[in-house]
A = this chain, B = another copy of it.
Amino acid sequence: MVTVTYQELYRTFLDVLKRRGFSDERAEVCARLFTETTLDGVFSHGVNRFPRFIRTIDAGLVDVHAEPELVGRFGVLERWDGRRGPGNLNARAAMNRAIEIAREHTIGCVALANTNHWMRGGTYGYQAAEAGLAAICWTNTMPNLPPWGGREPRLGNNPLVVAVPGPEGPVVLDMALSQFSYGALESHRLRGEQLPVAGGYTEDGELTTDPAAIEQSGRPIPAGFWKGSGLSLLLDLLAALLSGGKATHEIPDDPERESGVSQVFVAFDLAKLYPPEEMARIVEDVLRFTREGAPATKGGRVYYPGERTKERRERNSKEGIPVDEAIWESIRRL
């Protein structure tokens, strides 16, 4: 591990992006999103993901100049074409537009077709909540998750994000619909650890906490078994129907070629309903009640979604960001 500062990380990303032809302004936003994700401790979609993001540019899957284009306006729903632009810039623009519509009509929705991986989904939840709005957004993905009852990956893990502003910062849920991502399986394996709960099947169809066995079988479980399986299917249907874009079965079945995904961004302008201090009090009361119950294990406690992100952000801001040395070196050579 090497420890780098926010500024070092940001500058390094920025230089690489500019060398890939991003305009100054777009390079700055894109670099900031990758840096903030890393600062928040979400390495899998921050610094560790950056080399693959650059590979998708070099492979021509991501067009660094493409900006989303309005395709149609249907009341408070707008359809946009992502034109295969950078997924994080596209998603950010889409949530911005959903927020604008919501400021006018309380709810705004942008359905985005033909875009690319949005990296950390939570980013767009924070974006809305920091602006004082609640939001729900989700993306489909390539087939990477067997449905309940099946052994082949026929669903995406279709991450879902739900966010509301909170008294000490946003409450943001950012969850893929597999119990563990492939990234989480890999990092447990590399640390020589078992998963805390069963995460998939062995080749023989037994539930297991062994990450390597699940990587080998290609059979992670949906979060909540049949429940996550059903939710993943419905989110894919809604993303494809609302955006007019691709469903999971139409997305290339290869992590290096995944492109053209569909996303939905819904924003709710809570400022139409409350003064901010009243909203903060309502959220605070819910969080307090949830957290003040007895812990499951001695010395344990209940965290709300986003709480540990906030802690990691504060720690990394103070102490610097721990980055894998080999990945850091590879990025400096990009």
A: which residues have CB within 8 A of B? 74-77, 79, 104-107, 109, 134, 136, 143, 146-155, 160, 162-164, 171, 173, 175, 179, 197-198, 201, 205, 207, 219, 222-225, 227-228, 230-231, 233-238, 240-242, 244, 247-249, 268, 270, 272-274, 279, 282-283, 285-286, 289-297, 300-305
**Which of A146, A163, A207, A302 has the largest number of chain B CB atoms within 10 A?**
A302
A241-B224 contact in complex given A154-B290, A247-B285, C-beta closer than 8 Å? no
Q: Which residues of B contact A198 (CB under 8 A)?
A: 197-198
Copies in the complex: 2
Partner of A233, one of B143, B146, B270, B286: B286
Q: Which residue of B lies closest to A288 (CB)?
A: B249
Docked complex Cα distance between A85 and B82 (Å)? 46
Q: Are A154 and B302 in contact (CB under 8 A)?
A: yes
Which residues on B sit within 8 Å (CB–CB) of A219?
296
Docked CA distance A230–B197 (Å) = 17
Whether B224 contacts A155 by the Cβ 8 Å rule is no
A/B interface sample: 27 pairs, CB < 8 A: A75-B76, A77-B106, A77-B272, A79-B273, A147-B293, A149-B302, A149-B303, A150-B290, A151-B296, A152-B294, A154-B289, A162-B231, A162-B235, A163-B234, A171-B237, A179-B225, A198-B198, A205-B296, A205-B297, A223-B228, A234-B305, A236-B286, A237-B283, A242-B268, A242-B273, A249-B285, A249-B286
Q: How far is the CA of A74 from the CA of B104 in the complex (A)?
A: 9
Interface of A is mostly: mixed
Given contacts A228-B223, A237-B171, contact A104 B75 (CB under 8 A): yes
Q: Determine whether the beta carbon of A290 is less than 8 Å from that of B238.
A: no
Chain B residues with CB under 8 Å of A274's CB are 241
Pairwise interchain contact A249-B289, C-beta atoms closer than 8 A? yes
In the bound assembly, the distance between CA atoms of A198 and B85 in angstroms comes to 43
A74 with B272: CB separation less than 8 A:
yes
Residue of B nearest to A176 (CB): B227
